[in-house]
Structure 1
Amino acid sequence: MLAAVFAVGLSMPAKALDGLPIETALLSPGTLEKALEGQASGLPAVLRPSDAQLYKRIFSLQTLGRWEAADREIAKLGDRSLMGHVLYQRYMHPTAYRSSYEELRSWLEKYADHPEASRVHSLALKRKPAGAKAPPGPVQGYLYGNGTEGSGMPERISIRNRAGKLVRDAGADQVLRQITALSRDGSPSAALKLLEGRLKGQIDTLPLALARGEIAAGYYLANRDDLALEQAALAVRQSGDSDKMAAWVAGLAAWRLGKFDTAGRYFELVALDDDVSGWTAAAGAYWASRVHLKLRRPAEATRWLARAATFPASFYGLLARRALGVETPANWSEPALGEADFRYLMEQPGGKRSLALIQLEMVELAEMELRKLYPRIEPERATAVLAVANRANMAGLALRLASRLQVATGERYKVGLFPMPQWEPPGGFIVDKALLFSIIRQESAFDVRAQSGSGARGLMQLMPSTARLMATDEEYAGDRSELFDPDLNLTLGQRYLQHLIGLEQLEGNLFWVVASYNAGPGNLGRWLKQVDYRDDPLLFIESIPSRETRNFVERVVANFWTYRMRMGQPSPSLDQVAAGQWPKYESLDEQARAAVAQTISVGR
């Protein structure tokens, strides 16, 4: 992996290596088909087989610190387009080589467009002698980040401190923060007392209304539906119907109170707002449909289902389409990637280097090259980079690019939005890939180096304590950094998921399993006792006290249903939820089915 690629060095004198010419030959016309021969990735082999083998030996030798042997292989290279990476390995080796300032400055003069240039520049500045010429700076631009554009948190679930952003008075702002904290921590009455006592008449009506909406949500999560409806309705009025978060809470509280006409009005208010996300609008429309079904108004119920179905990428949009019997659009084709696209990439030094690194199976470093190149490419070539990322197993980059393209052009490249990397745990899959990838997409956005402030690490965001429970002593010794290893992370993550599926108290319930993965089965057990959800699967989700877990369940389950579609599999759990039933996890992958069935049998 990348760590192994970087943990190397060289021994040939730096100036001798640094002065070698760089080959920039392009694919000649008509050679693409030949270059593709034998390439599992479907990408061209830009290095001659002899050079590819030489580079592999060089990197392996340098990993072992065998400088002289590596130097002999370097001298045989015909294509030296990766010499920047070779020299980087030497100069930045953590133990076996100490680079001089002149070496670092010389590297920056030639390779400032490389993704590692910032690190080299930082070290060069530290080692610069007094009076020496300053090193060149790195070429700017890099596509940072993973996952989809924006927060990914629906307005109705993300109870944000929106009021505080509208208040400039520091004292009032502090009180608003206290109100939010109290409301979320189960003390809405204390929050209301602060609102009425400290803020009344001190701030504008809108931030006051938004703060009241926070309190209403707190009352709802505390099962105080009468007070939740009272405060939420007041917040909606005070905000001039603009606080859709409060309208959502009012709808849920009225539903639990049996005031279905009232609930319907608030859900429809959410559904018809053009300023909320499609995810939120679909939720409002779906619940409005549920209200009309309760009131025996099938035509109105169908009309609101149709409204929800116009947002097919959302949890409630998928449900609405299934309830209506409408197929969900599913174009899984990859963006076009023709010879002109390859030629364009080969004309960019970073593009050629990336393709060469892919050929060497150094995919993480190749991804860094594409991220460095992306801000400087022609906009019409963005889809070509997405296609390369998809073919080369760069799932995190594919998701990032597909999301950016959707925002910029409106095109939904679902093959990138829901990538299926060719990853497999060493012992094979014991949980369906659709569920595994659904969790990875939400937890880490396919970033193998993802880490959270709470200590979770890797693709499936495992906590070290959970990993230790699922691992043998030989598999995992407790070092958090080990969880960045995708093989280990996938192995232990799916093992934990299988454990949850088999727990007797979870009954194979998909919602409960996913909620437990996020919050733990202990929290789930407490919520099942405390939450007033009336044995209603959707009401249960919307009443989970943790807004993070509410969001997680809906996102992961929507991902799961979408991955089922991508794999051409049925979605019995989608049918069950659309019919008002609790969804059961059912293994459909041949490899995983026996393992899951055995786990459920043993657990019971």
Structure 2
Amino acid sequence: MHPNKYKASYKELSNWFKINTDYPPVLRKRIYYLLIKRLPDKNKKKLYQKPLFENYLRGYGEDNHIRGYSLPIKNKYSKNIKNKVSNLMSEEKHDRLINLINSNVNDDANYLINIINEEIKKVFFKGDIHTSMKLFDMYVNSLNAPNPNIFFRAGINAYRLGSFKKAKSYFNECNKIVQSYNKWLFAGCSYWESLLENSEKKKSKLLKKASKLPRTLYGQLAIEQLNISDPFTWRNYANQTEVNFSYLNENKIFKRAIALTEVGLYNHADLEIRNLYSKTQKDELNNLFYASEKLDLPAVLIRLGSKYYKKDLTLFMRGLYPTPDWQINDGYKIDKALLFAVIRRESAFNFKAKSSKGARGLMQIMPRTASKINNDYRLRYSKAYTLYSLQLNIEIGQKLLNRLMNSPNAKNSILDTLIAYNAGTTRLKKWKQSIYNVQPIVFIESIPIKETRWFVKYILTDLWIYRDKLQQAKPSRALLAEGKWPKYKNLDYKIIHDAKFRR
């Protein structure tokens, strides 16, 4: 199968395909296509059945993503509608646009308002916050259809300008209608309004609303403000005592998975567990979950954990926030909470992850960056494929995080480090010059690139959740809740060995 070395013959492929019927369908499909390609007689194609995925556990990451609200695709004319709105705004034909929205039914009106919100945000992120405020005020006061997205962004804009009374009004309006929208927006509106509330009773009520969404940035900050414990339970004693691997130990597929993990081929073992999922009875799924945890297979563990959504909160959270006990050759230079938070969001622990821009592996390392950090130009060209390696990817990723953290721009700031990791040091420097004298959460909401803005929110949230799982303090959360710039502190010296099964 090698492109320029030994090539398996049709006969060898055919024999393999017939014998290894219990292999993961994703592997069998590769052999199938190669086999069909080398058929001496195309009429024999009917002799081989194309492998079916059936109940094979596919995909990476969690089932129920908590993401920022995005524009819905209404129909095939959506692009034309967006262009029309953009043109009317650029030509400052605001009255015409307002009439267009107010004459539409609610769904279409909300869709158009979301487009307007995106257009005004472009002005805001360019730094012209006075103009963007005027636009927000004009549209909010003229539109009949209430929309929480535009209220939230208008509130952030007013807060930056020091118009706190106006900001509070916008966040209050956002809170009235946000329940049916995204969880992040719900928590955000409640938290921001609490910052502007003078009444301690009302402030506490708003923070409690936000704290009920602990897997969001503002839910975590609300928990800190209220000085309450995180609501997660990481150890399920009842289930833990019922673990029985006898059924699995007799299974040929499971034996292969064990053998693969013993030689460090976690990505291949991951495929075997996904394959086994389709052949496992419902009453054995708990054992498969615990086995995946024991074998340090975080990618499939996230997929399995998602299946416990609204069924078993403990296994749901343990699955979604795995803590594999991988032995790294050069050790952990960055503590596991931060490292796993980055890996979870960058690749969902998929060893073979590759972005459209060419970033590779667990920590999504660009070949060019890798070649500079390791002083090896081959990593940019002929050896770029080695970035899929667990050892090399984490080695370079840790070096990169350390370098960014200790740079003059970041100065050990966790926030600056994450921005530089995602968007680069040049952009970080530029944004710090243009967005100045603001609180750190205001800075986060003012990051011009949406991907970077959400990257920072996601990583900070996941970092604090991992800290909770590892029974560590959350100094960066405390600082951010106080309006101070959070610093990075390695807390791994406090980790105890059974962190996987915390509580």
Could you tell me which residue of structure 2 aligns to residue 17 of structure 1?
none
Matched residue SS, 1:583: coil
Could you tell me which residue of structure 2 aligns to residue 140 of structure 1?
53
State the 1:474 CA deviation.
9.2
Matched residue SS, 2:356: coil
Could you tell me which residue of structure 2 aligns to residue 114 of structure 1?
23
8 A Cα contact 2:98 2:142, kept in partner: no
Match of 1:506 among 405, 410, 413: 410
8 A Cα contact 1:271 1:282, kept in partner: no
Could you tell me which residue of structure 2 aligns to residue 369 of structure 1?
272
Matched residue SS, 1:250: helix
1:285 aligns with 2:190: yes
Could you tell me which residue of structure 1 aligns to residue 501 of structure 2?
none
8 A Cα contact 1:386 1:398, kept in partner: yes
Report the structure number with the largest CA radius of gyration: 1
Match of 2:74 among 166, 175, 180: 166
8 A Cα contact 1:438 1:563, kept in partner: yes
Structure 2 Cα separation of the partners of residues 548 and 526 of structure 1: 17
- Residue by residue over 1:121-173, the C-alpha shift from the partner in whole angstroms, topping out at 9 and shown as x without a partner, is 21222233143352133243332221222554222xxxx343xx2255x3x63
1:240 aligns with 2:156: no
Matched residue SS, 1:458: coil
8 A Cα contact 2:476 2:487, kept in partner: yes
8 A Cα contact 1:431 1:498, kept in partner: yes
Query: TM-score, with normalisation over the residues of structure 1?
Result: 0.72
Range that drifts further, 259-268 or 546-555:
259-268
Could you tell me which residue of structure 2 aligns to residue 9 of structure 1?
none
1:190 aligns with 2:99: no
Could you tell me which residue of structure 2 aligns to residue 299 of structure 1?
201
Could you tell me which residue of structure 1 aligns to residue 360 of structure 2?
457
Structure 1 Cα separation of the partners of residues 128 and 2 of structure 2: 61
Change over 3 Å in CA distance of 1:354–1:324 after alignment to 2: same
8 A Cα contact 2:249 2:255, kept in partner: yes
8 A Cα contact 1:206 1:239, kept in partner: no
Structure 1 Cα separation of the partners of residues 164 and 438 of structure 2: 18
Could you tell me which residue of structure 2 aligns to residue 582 of structure 1?
485
8 A Cα contact 2:370 2:380, kept in partner: no
Change over 3 Å in CA distance of 1:199–1:378 after alignment to 2: farther
8 A Cα contact 1:179 1:192, kept in partner: no
Could you tell me which residue of structure 1 aligns to residue 35 of structure 2?
124
1:176 aligns with 2:82: yes
The 5-angstrom pairing of residues 199-598 of structure 1 reads 200=100, 204-232=108-136, 234=139, 238=143, 240-241=145-146, 243-271=147-175, 273-292=178-197, 296-333=198-235, 336=239, 341-346=244-249, 350-355=253-258, 357-358=260-261, 362-406=265-309, 413-473=316-376, 476=379, 478=381, 479-531=383-435, 534-590=437-493
Matched residue SS, 1:459: coil
Change over 3 Å in CA distance of 1:119–1:191 after alignment to 2: farther
- Residue by residue over 1:31-55, the C-alpha shift from the partner in whole angstroms, topping out at 9 and shown as x without a partner, is xxxxxxxxxxxxxxxxxxxxxxxxx
Structure 2 Cα separation of the partners of residues 340 and 589 of structure 1: 29
- Residue by residue over 1:25-81, the C-alpha shift from the partner in whole angstroms, topping out at 9 and shown as x without a partner, is xxxxxxxxxxxxxxxxxxxxxxxxxxxxxxxxxxxxxxxxxxxxxxxxxxxxxxxxx
1:98 aligns with 2:8: yes
Matched residue SS, 1:505: coil
8 A Cα contact 1:456 1:464, kept in partner: yes
Amino acid aligned to 2:207: L
Amino acid aligned to 2:79: D
Amino acid aligned to 2:74: L
State the 1:344 CA deviation.
4.0
1:153 aligns with 2:67: yes
Range that drifts further, 519-528 or 141-150:
141-150
Matched residue SS, 2:59: coil
Change over 3 Å in CA distance of 1:490–1:199 after alignment to 2: farther
Range that drifts further, 568-577 or 371-380:
371-380
Query: TM-score, with normalisation over the residues of structure 2?
Result: 0.85
Change over 3 Å in CA distance of 1:582–1:198 after alignment to 2: closer
State the 1:545 CA deviation.
0.4
Structure 2 Cα separation of the partners of residues 321 and 338 of structure 1: 32
Matched residue SS, 1:330: coil
Change over 3 Å in CA distance of 1:569–1:386 after alignment to 2: same
Change over 3 Å in CA distance of 1:271–1:386 after alignment to 2: farther
Matched residue SS, 1:124: helix
Identity %: 28
State the aligned residue count. Answer: 481
- Residue by residue over 1:472-531, the C-alpha shift from the partner in whole angstroms, topping out at 9 and shown as x without a partner, is 339946432121112111111111111111112222111111111111111011111222
Change over 3 Å in CA distance of 1:553–1:386 after alignment to 2: same
8 A Cα contact 2:234 2:469, kept in partner: yes
Change over 3 Å in CA distance of 1:423–1:271 after alignment to 2: farther
Structure 1 Cα separation of the partners of residues 166 and 247 of structure 2: 59
